[in-house]
Chains A and B, each alone.
Chain A
């Protein structure tokens, strides 16, 4: 191989930086969706690579369900501060109080409710583009997603009417009220994300690593016991050595039994894994088109 050669991570990195800079070049009020999860941690490093030595030219936005792992919130706040970025947080709780979001009878998960809150924040700050950490390898409906994904005035994704995306020429034009979602990690796999975290020596929240935790068994998954998810009467509680593979909210994220306590261990574990990362998320299992339906409504 010649010296003018990029390996797979360098290729994915330069592609992602190019997308980030296109967002900065094409939009007036972009934002970056930062949850503190592993994918958005990669986004932060890519933003630094795209925009330093400048200040990051876009604020971070996070929609809080109120069901987060506390470690994640602390990590999110600290990272934003370290990078000197403005962090905007909007909460499902506040939106329910103000009547912008409504809980369906019996609905416990706040997953669906993130959507109106996100769209509310986009309207409030008149964001014309939100950078997200979604990857096409995560899920079937996402496999059809564009790098620049157009959303109409209702925030909706129309999968049958997407703009063709040719070469690296992204059509970023939107009319007032419409917006774009941009996904620099489109071509990354779960393995790529961890390999990048390793190469760049990125810090991740401690819940990705093996730790002791009280768990209950529900719907074929181990869920973490917390104030939000207390054990039911007579429900057996087991202390286990677990970690999370993907982070959703605290009531639907399956804990994986794992001794992996370093990035190297995690990479080895993923290499040997026999289920996908979303296999541990109850919110995606409800029907085969669960993600497609949520995305059409304006989900991340």
Chain B
């Protein structure tokens, strides 16, 4: 890979499909054909080929890193892979198709710009394909690729490819969140249309998979319209020998939305106290402005009582603030969820207690319809719930901001992460005059 002096973007994508759809093989092929594999990795592959593959190199062994995975020929956990072309750097989450590990698909999808859903050309759309597409949509991944794999096994039949496209288009309108959807006929095993264009698909005029990954327009995933700054850490040097440092009181964090400028009026929530940004401190020197997702330290004009978990926001596009919450969740634990259970809820930099007050519905993965009032949500279920928290959350709807609209639930005692939650938009937002009398 030649070293490029131009700014290089990072594209994060994940691959999903059911067992044996060839996800790991596809990633192996991308790495192999883009010359991102090194000799010792290829050597290791050849060594393992003698044991498991009957002499044939198994590209899946590249990502199936754990012993149990190699023995069982399955992918247990999300594996991250890195490769680069002169145009882009790629972070790949290889997410397992095994139904009991679907929680890992949610994990891999949560940070992705693009999802590659694999289908076996012989099988077409199956329940897993629908589920993966639905999860990608629910997690707000903007770009979708449907990779119709194993086309060699259906003799590169164009009609079969179009049939599968129709099967998807039957339900894709239900998932209108994607900015673009691309169908690519390929063979991961043989490398057709992965990096190099295939001789077998004269009827296909679109890009190869890598060509698409390099060129798809990833308009910023970040919300730049509403300033959100969850306070992560209070920076107080308290240095008695240096007057300037003695009085320094900074608020360190990563912008979770929008832009902030020196001189801008801001509000601290939940207190509602207002102040002005005096300085945007960084090690390299002060900034005039900062934007999401930069990490900075803010100094305000007033010495307010602010601590980790508070949120500093702009006076326009204010967020919601409530203890009563309505959310979609992906349940990730073998112990099912019932109404009435208590958890820790982590949202931005704040952890509060939460009680699940009601299970409103469970998604039927066959038709994406909601089944009302389920008794419980089991492992891998998706549903809508109501919660009440011990302290108000300052939040946005997940579709407006992935960082201020998401939370996790943590089981008390075991500390297991049991759910990923996506908040619905607030019914009302904080008013600019809220707590005006405080200063």
Decide if A and B are genuine partners: yes
Would you call A37 an interface residue if the criterion is a C-beta within 8 Å of the partner chain's C-beta atoms?
A: no
CB distance from B345 to the nearest CB of A (A): 10
Least CB distance from A158 to B in Å reads: 11
Considering only residues 122-174 of chain A, those with a C-beta below 8 Å from chain B are: 136-137, 139-144, 159-160, 162-169, 171, 173-174
B283 A22 Cβ-Cβ under 8 A: no
Task: Return chain A residues, CB-CB under 8 Å to B417.
Answer: 163-166, 171
- Residue numbers in B under 8 Å from A192 (CB-CB): 89
Stretch at the interface among B156-164, B400-408, B423-431: B400-408
Smallest Cβ distance from B80 to chain A, in angstroms? 5
A2 touches B220 (CB 8 A): yes
One digit per residue, 1 when the CB lies within 8 angstroms of any chain B CB and 0 when it does not, for chain A 1-44 equals 11011111011111101100110110000000000000000000
Q: Tell me, yes or no, whether B243 is within 8 Å of chain A by CB.
A: no
Flag whether B48 is at the interface (Cβ < 8 A). Answer: yes
A113 smallest CB distance to B (angstroms)? 23
Stretch in A90-98, A233-241, A271-279 with 4+ CB within 8 Å of B: A271-279
The residue that A143 contacts in the complex, of B40, B70, B80, with Cβ under 8 A, is: B80
Cα distance, A12 to B406, chains bound together (Å): 21
Asked whether any CB of chain A lies closer than 8 Å to the CB of B282, the reply is yes
Distance from B244 Cβ to chain A, minimum over Cβ atoms (Å): 9
B66 lies within 8 A of A167 (CB): no
Which residues of chain A come closer than 8 Å to B415, judged between CB atoms?
A: 171, 173-175
User: Which residues of chain B from 286 to 341 have any CB-CB distance to chain A below 8 Å in the complex?
Assistant: 291-295, 308, 332
Using A143-B80, A144-B78 as known contacts, say yes or no to A164 and B103 having CB atoms under 8 A apart. yes
Taken together as a complex, chains A and B put the C-alpha atoms of A3 and B106 apart, in Å, by 31
- Please tell me if the beta carbons of A49 and B233 are within 8 angstroms of each other in the complex: no
A151 to B53, CA, bound (A): 34
Partner of A53, one of B84, B106, B248, B346: B248
Q: How far is the CB of B347 from chain A (nearest CB, A)?
A: 8
The answer to whether A53 touches B281 (Cβ under 8 A) is yes
CA A50 – CA B283 in complex, angstroms? 8
A residues contacting the other copy or chain, number (CB 8 A): 66
Contact status of A14 and B295, CB under 8 A, knowing A25-B308, A187-B80, A288-B47: yes
Q: How far is the CB of A236 from chain B (nearest CB, A)?
A: 25
Q: How far is the CA of A111 from the CA of B254 in the complex (A)?
A: 37
- Measured CB to CB, the nearest residue on chain B to A3 is B291
* A7, B89: Cα distance in complex, Å: 10
Would you list which residues of chain B between 240 and 268 have a CB under 8 Å from chain A? 245, 248, 250, 252-254, 259
Contact of A169 among B62, B77, B293, B407 (CB under 8 A): B407
* Chain B 158-187: CB-based contact to A (< 8 A → 1; otherwise 0): 000000000000000000000000000000
Flag if A167 contacts B402 (CB, 8 Å): yes
Q: Determine the distance from Cα of A165 to Cα of B295 in the docked complex, in whole angstroms.
A: 20
Docked complex: B23-82 residues within 8 A CB-CB of A: 38-41, 44, 47-48, 62-63, 65-68, 70, 76-82
Contact B10 A18 (CB under 8 A): no
Q: With a CB–CB cut-off of 8 A, which chain B residues contact A159?
A: 66, 76-77
**A292 contacts the other chain (CB 8 A):** yes
Q: Provide the residues of chain A in CB contact with B199, threshold 8 Å.
A: none
Contact of A5 among B91, B220, B237, B250 (CB under 8 A): B220
User: Do A7 and B235 have beta carbons less than 8 Å apart?
Assistant: no
Cβ-defined partner of A25 (8 Å) among B220, B283, B332, B349: B349
B202 close to A (CB within 8 Å)? no
B420 lies within 8 A of chain A by Cβ: yes
User: A160–B346 contact, CB under 8 A?
Assistant: no
Roughly how many angstroms separate A142 CA and B332 CA in the complex, as a whole number? Answer: 23
| Residues of B contacting A8 in the complex (Cβ-Cβ under 8 angstroms) | 7-10, 89
**Complex contact A48–B82 (CB within 8 A):** no
Are A143 and B104 in contact, CB atoms less than 8 angstroms apart?
no
- A143 and B346 in contact (CB under 8 A), knowing A54-B235, A288-B48? no
Residues of chain A touching chain B, judged by Cβ–Cβ distance below 8 Å, are: 1-2, 4-8, 10-15, 17-18, 21-22, 24-25, 48-55, 136-137, 139-144, 159-160, 162-169, 171, 173-175, 186-187, 189, 191-192, 267-268, 271, 273-276, 278-279, 288-289, 292
Can you offer 19 A-B residue contacts whose CB atoms are under 8 A?
A8-B7, A18-B254, A22-B232, A54-B235, A54-B237, A136-B80, A137-B82, A144-B78, A159-B77, A164-B103, A167-B111, A167-B406, A169-B407, A173-B410, A186-B80, A189-B84, A267-B3, A276-B40, A276-B41
Q: Sort A-B residue pairs by CB-CB distance and give the 9 closest, nearest first.
A: A140-B65, A279-B40, A7-B7, A17-B295, A173-B415, A21-B232, A4-B291, A166-B420, A166-B110
Known contacts A136-B82, A274-B39, A289-B66, then 16 further A-B pairs from the complex at CB < 8 Å, ordered by chain A residue: A5-B220, A11-B293, A18-B232, A18-B293, A22-B232, A54-B235, A140-B65, A143-B79, A166-B406, A169-B346, A169-B347, A189-B82, A191-B84, A275-B40, A279-B39, A292-B65
